[in-house]
Structure 1
Amino acid sequence: MLALRDGQLYVLAPDGWTRLGGPAPASSTPLNREDAEDWCEREGWDLHLLDQVPQLTA
């Protein structure tokens, strides 16, 4: 799963969110929160990870 926050792209990895360089893959599909929660449940990921996407600090 990919997440975009503050213009930065992150990928969900087994050890948490990892920052990526470059644009999102052209084959990626946007998800709303409900769909992302459904994906986490289906794949066995902790739903709280959706609230832990890193933020850029000022």
Structure 2
Amino acid sequence: MTSVDEVRYLRTEPSMAFPHGRLLALRGETLHVLAPDGWDRVARTAAGARSITREEAEDWCEREGWNPDLLDAVPY
């Protein structure tokens, strides 16, 4: 069982609008997507998304021009 404070990161499949996919974060039962205004809560459906490590999420942030510190700001 995972801790409520633990965050799992996922990445969606690439699309025309998001060539490197979108970054998702799952904390407990709450799923968030990284959006221009920060983390937005979304329905708990991550169909097609694959689990990635924290390091892969940091790489994604750097490649996309996001501050990797956002990974520490996933809401509850």
Would you call these one fold, judging by a TM-score over 0.5?
Answer: yes
Q: Which of structure 1's runs of 4+ aligned residues deviate more than 2 A?
A: none
Code of the aligned partner of 1:10: H
The residue aligned with 2:42 is 20
Could you say what the CA RMSD is over the residues aligned between the two structures, in angstroms?
A: 0.8
Q: How many pairs does the alignment contain?
A: 54
Normalising by structure 1, we get a TM-score of 0.86
CA distance in 1, matches of 2:44, 2:50: 16
More strand by share: 2
Code of the aligned partner of 1:48: D
The residue aligned with 2:63 is 42
Give the fraction of aligned pairs with identical amino acids, expressed as a percent: 59
More helix by share: 1
Report the alpha carbon displacement of residue 29 of structure 1 after superposing the two structures with TM: 1.2
What are the superposed Cα offsets for residues 20-57 of structure 1, whole Å, 9 maximum, x if unpaired? 11321x211111000000000111000110000001xx
Structure 2 gap ranges (5+)? 1-22
